[in-house]
Structure 1
Amino acid sequence: MSLASFFQPRSIALVGATEREGSVGRAIWDNLRSFTGPVFPVNAKHAEVCGVRAFPKIASLPEVPELVIIVTPAATVPQLVEDAGIAGAKAVVVISAGFKETGAEGAKLEAEALAAARRHGVRLIGPNCLGLMNPHAGLNASFASSVARPGRVAFLSQSGALCTAILDWSHDQHVGFSAFVSTGAMADVGWGDLIRHFGADPHTGSIVIYMESVGDDASAFLAAARSVAAEKPIVVIKVGRTSEASRAAASHTGAMTGSDAVLDAALRQSGVLRVDTIEELFDMAEVLAKQPLPAGPRLAIVTNAGGPGALATDALVLGHGALADLSAETMAELNALLPASWSHHNPVDVLGDADAARFAQALRIVSRDRGVDGVLAILTPQAMTHPTDIAREVAQIAQKAEKPLLASWMGAQSVMEGRAILNAAHVPTYDYPDEAAHAFVRMREHRMRLLWLSETQSAHADDDDAEPPQVSEMISAVLRSGRTLMTEQEAKQLLQVAGIPVVETRAAYDEAAAVAAAEAIGYPVAVKLLSDTITHKSDCGGVQLNLLNATAVQQAWRLIRDNVTHLHGLGAFDGVTVQRMITQKGYELILGTSTDAQFGPVLLFGAGGTLVEVLQDRALALPPLNHASARRWVEQTRISRVLHGGRGQPPVDFAALDDVLVKFARLVQHERRIVELDINPLLATSEGVLALDARVVVRE
């Protein structure tokens, strides 16, 4: 249902309007006086409010209000929402507090208010919020002390207090808004609804979000973000980055995923840029709306002083950007233009006596270089420098620029006019060059996130919901047996059915069977614990490797049995599995999944083996995947650099690895009874990929 009734209502009723100074009802009433449509005060105790006729209840209003704002105590809200729905109102904003944030009784009131809204098809923002503004419509339906300037940024915040602080800050910084929304508890209208609304709003150029929680419908948020982010930048700051509240899990994967890390992966694949500070939140919204995105990480810097260029270089490289290598043609042009003592490399130091013509021509030359993805112009006010004249030249260049162009006009009074000229030309300006370099890095990151988004959308479109029926049958059989932990043998069979290559493995329930299995497979072999209850075999001496004959297999059987019996009792020992000992040189990886309460299946990839928790080299992703997004996921890890080969080692079979990752993602996406699944190690070699060990936990 459309949210237009919140932001372009024809008429408004304020329930709880009052003349009492210092009250929320009075503050909102005063703010609503600038609205051009009819505004009706509803107050059962007073005949008028500030000289305007008041009405005792919503039903007594002379016309149906499209938007109803409620500021009365929480206990009155459910009935008032019911009254608004019966009257025919389309939207309700509940400013009042005292709901689920106060405990069980408040949660009951909130549920009743939501039920009333849904009975009548009414949309509800709040409760416990500051309200909302639409500066382009002259609407200030909030109790903020000032109104936002009109602009192109939609600001959405779960913190009402932060809204007021941002509002004060925005006046000093001349930041304008297409809308200003305090979401409150998000009982009904959530992130997904708001993102879709402002994605279609012609006044909105970008969406910025202060987020404390994703809310109850994470999938709606992600789906909305995916549908909007390619057209309008969405920038988020999320507080609460620590993972103390993430659930404990027995698997490597579950232990290594936290709610914040999962959110990070979800935002990345949805094309949403995440930032760390409030200043950066609005800065990036502005930059992304004004400038094209860089095609790559290579930045060229043109400066009239060496020190600031070095500062920008450090920030660029530390942020995983790169200094552009200037072509021979560019170097020749610069040598012909600049004095002999210029820097002769990037950053291009045009020297402190550079006039506007020299600075501008150097900037043009560098911008034309095909090896340059973006340009940063840095100016320091020196005796021979004319910041305003140079700014005019840079502004002219910006009109024809096809690459991002950023500027740092360092100083105060002497550069103010130049900054204003650049800002008017849509060239973002920064007080310090390291800030500008960091912004370029963020722009590059946003481009990469949009590539993730495109691949994620393709993966969703290509997903055929195909799942081999044997997978469901195998899981059902385990659950019927009263178990939730699959044996290693069962886990590998599951993977094999899903199309993931596994090492040949046989179960053995006595010593003689272990020897027979080894003889059938062929030496050398590995022998591992078979148990319904023990999660990590190596922790209890349950893995014996590189066994060359029957005697070694017999000894391994006894050693594993004795180790497990000593630590966990004989009941934990069911037997062993015998598998081929892989002698190919390769890399041990981990591939896993666990279930996040908000986002569902979460995928983990990284360096594996027994040191997986120590190395902590992993990356998270959400299904589905295609081969392109699988490769992008792998490249996020440090071990990916090793997988490409070097020092005499060939690269791994990336095509086979990508294929395994895609099939793994499809398996856990469509079989939601899989709670946790670890493949550790997943061996990657130049000849293919093989699951050497697996652990699966399932549920009803």
Structure 2
Amino acid sequence: MDIWTAMKAHYLTPLFQPKSVAVIGASETPESVGSRVFRNLLDAPFKGRIYGVNLRHPTVYGERVYARLRDLPEREIDLAVIATAARTLPQLLRECGEHGVKTALVLSRDFVAVDSHNRALLNEAMQEAQRYGLRVLGPNLLGLMRPDIGLIAANYQGRVKPGNLALLSQSSSVASAVLDWAEAHEVGFSNVVSLGAAADVNFGEILDYLSQDSRTHGILLYLEDVGEARGFMSALRAAARTKPVVTLKVGRYAEPGVSSTAARTHSERLIGRDDAFDAAMRRAGVLRVSTMVQMSIAARMLAANYRVRGRRLAVISNGYGVGRMAVDRARELQVELPRLDPATIARLDAVLPPIGSHDNPVDILGDAPPDRFVAATEACLADPQIDGVMVLLTPQAGTDDLLTAERMITLRDQTDKLLLLVWLGDKKIALSRKRLDRAKMAYFTAPEHAVEAFASLAAYAHIQLLSLQTPGPLASRDAPDVAAARAAIRRALDAGRATLDARETMTVLEAFHIPFAASQTVRTVDEAVAAAVKLGLPVALKIDADGVLHKSEVEGVLLDLHTLDAVAAAATQLLVESAKRGLNLQGLVVQKMHSRRHGRELMIGAARDAVFGPLILFGAGGEAVELFDDVAVTLPPLNDVIAHSLIRRSKIARALGPYRNHPAANMEAVKEVLLRLSEMVCELPELQEIDLNPVVVDEHGAVAVDAGMTVAPLPAKFRRYSHMAIHPYPSHLVREGQLRDGLAYTLRPIRPEDAEMEQRFVREELSEQSRFNRFMGTVKQLTKPLLVRLTQLDYAREMALIAVAGEQMLGVARFSVNPDFDSCEFAIAIGDRWQGRGLGNQLMNALFEAARGMELTTMEGDILASNSPMLGLMKKLGFDIRPHPDDPQLKWVVKRL
């Protein structure tokens, strides 16, 4: 994988854009896979070389075929399509490897039954493929299609039109259904991939390719399960940064009979099996839909580059009923229907009949001629309170649907706001619908679908904002005492406990500066009384017992103790009751009663999802937290923007503002707790579940009143942040440096907000020769897609370290992890003014350290043979300089780390 130059082909290019294809199992047997695939390639026709392989027949469909791969007139075939029985796969992949085949597509159907024999057979086949470096897609899949080059290598019967949408599906049946729908609606595809069993090439790798494919403007994704989250999220985020991705996932609800009663914390109990996936898609910048109709609508809108800046919609209709249909669906989807600006209403009053609504929704009456439609639409498009306008037309006496459509097409070209049309009916408006189709207008046949499209676009704009967030270290000066927190966790694990006791919990909270109600742990009645005197009455008493996170469930909490006698009696009661219940009591917690007049109770927590790792939760707190089921979920790491979005999605968010005699809660304090909790789960991978419930917040601040934490040992060979689906900003790589002449600079990983600085660096700090050396071409400035790829990194598989002095970038060194996840490819550029001052050496040594931290063993790169200064630096740094295997104008440099 190479994301540092725009010219190098993706390693899956032979699979998606083969120049030569061999169909192994090509035949004329009716309904056979080999027959259909070979016929599809001939009929498309495929714009490359096709070879059929068949042991028994010299010709298939009039085309010469060959008995074996070794008989082909060409070596190094790009793609072999295998359409034979599963038992033949190991031998065929061995033959593919020996013949130099680069990729293979396995359509064999009889791997569907997963048993020990098939597993062993598939393992043997994959070992053969790995032996030769042969990449395999499948088995058990519909196939692979690239319509623009006639590559219809699929067991599919139907027409697939070229277009700019890619379809990636885990289900062959769903892919077939989407293709059938697309044929009826004249929707085309750049690529269609049915993933099948994914024995080798996986979702992440295909998404990697699609994100770089110039033919693909939007991606449709159908999912049933995710598998390994880190690679999937990494590729998904990369794809969604450059083009819209719409996903439909089944399995939103738990299987019948699956219970969450085994969950230990409120945080774990409150997370549904679908919440984590939802949160992951939101952070990746991917639009999730719930039906195939919504997926098709959203994909067409996004791929056609329709966008909207907000959620404020104006509705115009020539009928009250259809207008109300749109309004009802908008309210269900929380699409805003704001009142129009007074100036807009005055403008409508001047051009519309006096009867009917002149506010949102606007009723222009059933007999509205084209001029009335246009006047109302122009007024609403000009309204500063409106982000998009929906126009609904029903064919009635006085309307002219065709002329109105023509006028709307003209209006669309005169505004930068979204204009949605709903033409209701069928026979009477058929001609105008065809006209709207030809003009590629955003038009619909039902008001509900139009509202859903608008809501999808609005949601997409918001999640794109979230996806660009790369949280760095907290701005607060108080760095966490990670060592103290880890020592507390280690004590619990060494003692064989899965829950932290009260003292350990408070140590962790204090280490990460999370405010906690004043508390003291005690063991005896006398110590409890002394603690109450020290803390001040009234106090609460709580048990501290192994494995007990919800103390109220075992009657282990007594509140509002206003006298020392009450404290003594309560302590005695808790000690006696704990002994009766057989609890392994560590002691008691005496806590100052925390009572705030305007306090709201929140639940802030974290839980571990089996696929996506840690999740942060926010919602209403207190004893009834699970009853009200108010929880919003996101993936860490968090920053201010993500924390604010998380709070806003909860039901309790409305109660945090001012109401009745309650002043607004201190939102900054709430966000600070969330940010600290995010920092905690990032840096303490042993933490499994965290409950801060309740967290009491008022106008003065936020304080956690109770807390519980569970932990687990780390797996063998644990790598930093490998427990997370989204790699945090690697702040441990930030350091100060100095050039030979004394100029001080900061060396740090790049961030999205550095895009403009990177652009200036390439445009102003690199000479034409330096740009040619760096990009191996005539590059004056970076294109937007390339700039995004260079600055919006997934730190789990790529790194870019920049040297910055003030707002000036001096140089950058970067690497991208190769598909083997053992080696990486690097690139470096130093501004002309800063060359010869030691910066290249310092940047590369920092890059070595970052690569070693990811447990990479080899760094390699391509350098122009004419770039003597860079080759000199490479030799000094210990690189082995070799002839390039593919290009004599390049040198291949390799260093063992």
In structure 2, what is the equivalent of residue 192 of structure 1? Answer: 204
Q: Give 1:101 shift.
A: 5.1
2:72 matched to 1:58?
A: no
* Structure 1 pair 109–353 and aligned structure 2 pair: CA distance change class (3 A): same
- What residue in structure 1 maps to residue 670 of structure 2? 657
Partner Cα distance (2:84, 2:244) in 1: 37
CA shift at 1:86, angstroms? 3.2
Change (3 A) 1:62 1:241: same
What are the residue-to-residue correspondences of 1:626-641 with 2, within 5 Å?
626-641=639-654
Note if 1:14 corresponds to 2:23.
yes
- Cα offset for 1:602? 1.3
Q: Does the Cα contact within 8 Å between 1:140 and 1:147 map onto a contact in 2?
A: no
Deviation at 1:98, TM superposition (A): 4.0
> Map of 1:167-246 to 2, 5 A cutoff?
167-214=179-226, 216-244=227-255
SS in structure 2 of the partner of residue 6 of structure 1:
helix
Say yes or no: does 1:699 pair with 2:708. Answer: no
Worse overlay, 516-525 or 557-566 = 557-566
CA distance in structure 2 between the aligned counterparts of 1:98 and 1:466, rounded to whole angstroms? 56
Separation of aligned partners in 2, 1:552 and 1:527: 10
Following the alignment from structure 1 to structure 2, what is the Cα–Cα distance between the partners of residues 303 and 241? 36
Rounded to whole Å, the distance in 2 between the matches of 1:299 and 1:93 is 47
Q: In terms of mean alpha carbon deviation, does 441-450 or 416-425 score higher?
A: 416-425
Aligned partner of 2:247: which letter? V
Of the structure 1 ranges 461-470 and 407-416, higher mean CA displacement relative to structure 2 is found in 461-470
Is 373-382 or 95-104 further displaced after alignment?
A: 95-104
Taking the aligned partners of 2:230 and 2:423, their CA distance within structure 1 comes to 43
Deviations 1:223-257 (A, max 9, x none): 22222324311111111111236874211111221
1:439 aligns with 2:459: no
Residue 591 of structure 2: aligned partner: 579
Q: TM-score, normalised by structure 1?
A: 0.95
Give the fraction of aligned pairs with identical amino acids, expressed as a percent: 36
Normalising by structure 2, we get a TM-score of: 0.75
1:591 aligns with 2:604: yes
For residue 153 of structure 2, what is the aligned residue in structure 1?
141
Contact 1:292 1:402 in 2 (8 A): no
Greater shift in the superposed pair: 592-601 or 390-399: 592-601
Letter in structure 1 aligned against 2:240: A
Deviation of the 1:463 alpha carbon:
13
Q: 1:374 and 1:59, CA in 2 relative to 1: closer, same or farther beyond 3 A?
A: same
Question: Is the CA contact (8 Å cut-off) linking 2:688 and 2:710 kept in structure 1?
Answer: yes
Contact 2:318 2:364 in 1 (8 A): yes
Residue 54 of structure 2 corresponds to 43
Q: Which residue of 2 aligns with 1:5?
A: 14
Cα offset, 1:207, TM superposition: 0.6
- Show CA shifts across 1:365-419 (max 9, x none): 1100101110001111112111000000000000122111110011112212222
Partner AA of 1:20 in structure 2: T
Q: 1:113 to 1:503 in 2, by over 3 A?
A: farther
- The alignment partner of 2:434 has SS state of helix
Which residue matches 1:686? 699
Q: Quote the Cα distance in structure 2 between the aligned partners of 1:175 and 1:676.
A: 46
Contact 1:653 1:685 (C-alpha < 8 Å) held by counterparts: yes
User: Aligned partners of 1:577 and 1:363: how far apart in 2?
Assistant: 66
Moved more, 487-496 or 78-87: 78-87
* Unmatched runs of 5 consecutive residues or more in structure 1: none
Cα separation, partners in 2 of 1:461 and 1:145, compared to 1, 3 Å: farther
Could you tell me how far 1:30 is from its partner in structure 2?
0.9
Structure 2 counterpart SS, 1:683: strand
* Deviation (angstroms), 1:591: 1.5
8 Å contact from structure 2 (residues 474, 675) kept in 1: no
Q: Distance in 2 between matches of 1:73 and 1:466?
A: 59
Deviation at 1:521, TM superposition (A): 1.3
AA partner of residue 147 (structure 1): R
Which residue does the alignment assign to 1:354? 368
Q: Does 1:648 align with 2:657?
A: no
TM-superposition CA deviations, 1:423-451 (whole Å, max 9, x none): 33332111122221222122211212112
| Partner SS state of residue 443, structure 2 | coil
Answer with 325-334 or 48-57: which moved more: 48-57
Q: CA deviation at 1:103?
A: 2.7
Which of residues 262, 278, 287 is equivalent to 2:301? 287
The amino acid that maps onto 1:138 is G
Deviation per CA, 1:295-322: give whole Å up to 9, x if none.
2222111222221111111111121012
Aligned partner of 2:341 among 317, 327, 332: 327
Q: Which aligned pairs between 1:368-447 and structure 2 lie closer than 5 A?
A: 368-447=382-461
In 1, Cα distance between equivalents of 2:683 and 2:99? 45
Deviating more after overlay: 342-351 vs 677-686: 342-351
Q: Distance in 1 between matches of 2:98 and 2:611?
A: 34
- Distance in 1, Cα, partners of 2:116 & 2:274: 27
1:80 aligns with 2:89: no
Check whether the contact 1:133–1:147 (CA below 8 A) recurs between aligned residues.
no
Flag structure 2 segments of 5+ consecutive residues without an equivalent: 2-10, 714-897
Residue 520 of structure 2 corresponds to 506
Equivalent residues in 2 for 1:559-578, closer than 5 Å: 559-566=573-580, 568-569=581-582, 571-578=583-590
Partner of 2:590, secondary structure, is strand
CA distance in 2, matches of 1:668, 1:92: 42
Hey, what does 2:329 align to over in structure 1? 315
Map of 2:38 onto structure 1: 29
Write the deviation string for residues 572-598 of structure 1: whole angstroms up to 9, x where unpaired: 333211111112231221111121111
- Alpha-carbon distance between aligned partners in 2 of 1:539 and 1:246, rounded to the nearest angstrom: 19
Whether the 8 Å contact between 2:307 and 2:457 is mirrored in structure 1 is yes
Please tell me the residue identity of whatever aligns with 1:161: S
Call closer, same or farther: CA 1:67–1:466 in 2, change over 3 Å: farther
Q: Is the 8 A contact 1:100 1:107 kept in 2?
A: no
- Counterpart contact for 2:489–2:504, Cα < 8 Å: no
- Structure-2 change in CA distance of 1:123 and 1:665 (3 Å): same
Give yes or no for contact 1:587–1:685 (8 Å, CA) kept in 2.
Answer: yes
Q: State the partner residue of 1:530.
A: 544
The answer to whether the 8 A contact 2:647-2:653 is kept is: yes
**CA 1:83–1:336 in 2, change beyond 3 Å: closer, same or farther?**
same
Paired amino acid for 1:7: F
Contact 2:314 2:338 in 1 (8 A): yes
Taking the aligned partners of 2:69 and 2:264, their CA distance within structure 1 comes to 55
Matched, 1:474 2:488: yes
**Equivalent pair of 1:399/1:425 in contact (CA under 8 Å):** no
**More deviation in 417-426 or 445-454?**
417-426
Contact 2:159/2:183 (<8 A) preserved: no
What's the counterpart of residue 552 of structure 1? 566
**Residues 257, 695 of structure 1: CA spacing in aligned structure 2 closer, same or farther, 3 A cutoff?**
same
CA distance in 2, matches of 1:587, 1:463: 25
Give CA-to-partner distance per residue, 1:608-662, whole Å, 9 cap, x none: 1111110100111111000111011011111011011211112221112111111
Structure 1: distance between partners of 2:82 and 2:481: 50
Aligned equivalents of 1:44 and 1:9: distance in 2? 24
Matched residue, 2:170: 158
1:106 to partner: Cα distance: 2.4
Q: Secondary structure at the match of 1:323?
A: coil
Task: Quote how far apart the aligned CAs of 1:466 are.
Answer: 7.7
Q: Secondary structure, in 3 states, of the residue corresponding to 1:690?
A: strand
Partner of 1:298: 312
Structure with the higher helix share, 1 or 2: 1
Q: Which has the higher contact order (CA 8 A, sep 6+)?
A: 1
Question: Structure 1 pair 222/466, CA: closer, same or farther in 2 (3 Å)?
Answer: farther
Distance 1:76 1:552 in 2: 81
Between the two proteins, the alignment pairs up a number of residues equal to 696
